[in-house]
Amino acid sequence: MNLHKLSSRLCPTVSKFRHLHIQSSGQQLEAVAVETESTEPNPLSVFRTSEQNPTYHSERHTGQYYTLPPAHIQKLFPHGLPPRFQLQIKTFNEGCVMVRPPVLELISYLKKADYSKPPLRYILYGDIGTGKSMSLSHALHYCYTQGWLIVHIPDAHLWVKNCKELLPSSSRPSRFDQPIQASQWLKNFKITNEGFLSKIKTTQQYVWTKRESTEKGQPLGVLVDQGVNRMKSSSDVVGAVLRELRLQAGGTTEGEGAFKLAVAVDGVNALWGKTSLKKEDRTMVCWCKPEELTLIHNLRKMMKNNWSGGAILTALSQTGSLFKPQSAYLPSELLGEEGFDNMEPFVPVSVSNYNEKEFESCYLYYLERNWLQHPHSRSEEGKKELIFLSNKNPSILERLCAFL
């Protein structure tokens, strides 16, 4: 994985056509490269930091990129990273995240918080494309390295729109199930929290159908498997899993089962917004309300702070939201009255465009990756153009550079 990086460091001015050759001959260079790595101080990596653990990130790392270990990416973010970032990881063969002040602030709160008290709710808000989802992923990486149990919903908007199958709920008559979404989420949950599945035990019996039920005291893994295998009851399984986690998070009685719970929801304003799902109701077709969906109902219960031993990290998102204007980015605009009343008291964390240093970092990173192919982009003029065109907005800059 590091061959590409090493080779590009050795020959910084290589043209794009020679990349393929270098990768194949990289094995010969490897032996040489190991020695040169320690001797020559690399001028290009002023924007990188070697600190891979988010626990130790501090102000002196702001603006620098740190690499997400690939093992972590596979486990922690099977579905979690924003799609464009996933493409970037595939292209650059590495996942690098910039350390930015809002995340440092969030991580400092997480470090200082008292976990015997009810969880604090943090809402990341900001204009479109300023990096809220990425910041959430960074904070989640911190929680993962600390050994917390992660409940990550990458985009709550996906649960309120474009659902192919909407079944009336088996357990409650007025609710609707989304089997595909629920079972997919359970699969990803299983990948992320492999270690905890055998340690946590259920506290009550759950009856799914006349023949199937999960007894009390079974490990959580059995519950999750039940949901993955039986699609019909997967939404109810999600509800049960969330309930179990709520009851047992931060449990001080069982020394072995004590864990901290991180609930991360991206696009949390979907929970109190409108849906674009239609329901057939006695020959009339009308829109579903979010509370009529089982998944949303259970997730709303998670958002309340009537449990203890964890933290609720959320990010607002206008891009996937339904029926909200593009200019809305402040919490009460996107959450609405109901959402605001449910979520408060929360700590709002503002995420904004890059400042000078961060922009410089990003620019150098793209240069180093040879992502900016246009010769003009390497000059000062080109850099000024990029600043002007993107207004230092991370996502616009990324899309612009993709063309160059």
Binding site for another protein (CB under 8 A): 109, 112-114, 117-118, 120, 125, 305-306, 308, 330-333, 341, 344-350
Rank residues 116 and 283 by Cβ distance to another protein and give the closer one.
Answer: 116
- Choose among 41, 48, 3, 11: nearest CA to 362: 48
- Choose among 249, 251, 263: nearest CA to 302: 263
Counting Cβ atoms within 10 Å, is residue 267 exposed (0-12), middle (13-18) or buried (19+)?
A: buried
The answer to whether the beta carbons of residues 261 and 309 sit under 8 Å apart is yes
Rank residues 76 and 349 by Cβ distance to another protein and give the closer one.
Answer: 349
CB of 374 to another protein, least distance (A): 34
- Choose among 311, 351, 359, 355: nearest CA to 105: 351
Rank residues 92 and 340 by Cβ distance to another protein and give the closer one.
Answer: 340
Rank residues 341 and 356 by Cβ distance to another protein and give the closer one.
Answer: 341
CB of 348 to another protein, least distance (A): 5
| CB proximity list for 343: less than 8 A, separation 6 or greater | 121, 123, 268, 303, 314, 331, 335
**Torsion angles phi and psi, residue 315, rounded to 5:** -135, 140
95-98 and 120-126 strand pairing:
unpaired
330: which 2 tokens? 């402040």
CA 279-282-283 angle, 5° bins: 80
CB of 350 to another protein, least distance (A): 7
| CB proximity list for 87: less than 8 A, separation 6 or greater | none
Counting Cβ atoms within 10 Å, is residue 40 exposed (0-12), middle (13-18) or buried (19+)?
A: exposed
Rank residues 123 and 270 by Cβ distance to another protein and give the closer one.
Answer: 123
CB of 269 to another protein, least distance (A): 14
CB of 352 to another protein, least distance (A): 10
Residue 396's Cβ-side half-sphere holds a number of Cα atoms within 13 Å equal to 15
CB of 368 to another protein, least distance (A): 34
CB of 274 to another protein, least distance (A): 19
Amino acid in position 384: K
Rank residues 26 and 336 by Cβ distance to another protein and give the closer one.
Answer: 336
Rank residues 92 and 109 by Cβ distance to another protein and give the closer one.
Answer: 109
Most distant CA pair in the chain: distance in Å? Answer: 76
CB of 341 to another protein, least distance (A): 4
Question: How far, in Å, are 122, 160, 241, 269 from residue 229 at the CA level?
Answer: 34, 23, 15, 30
CB of 119 to another protein, least distance (A): 10
Rank residues 311 and 362 by Cβ distance to another protein and give the closer one.
Answer: 311
Rank residues 344 and 385 by Cβ distance to another protein and give the closer one.
Answer: 344
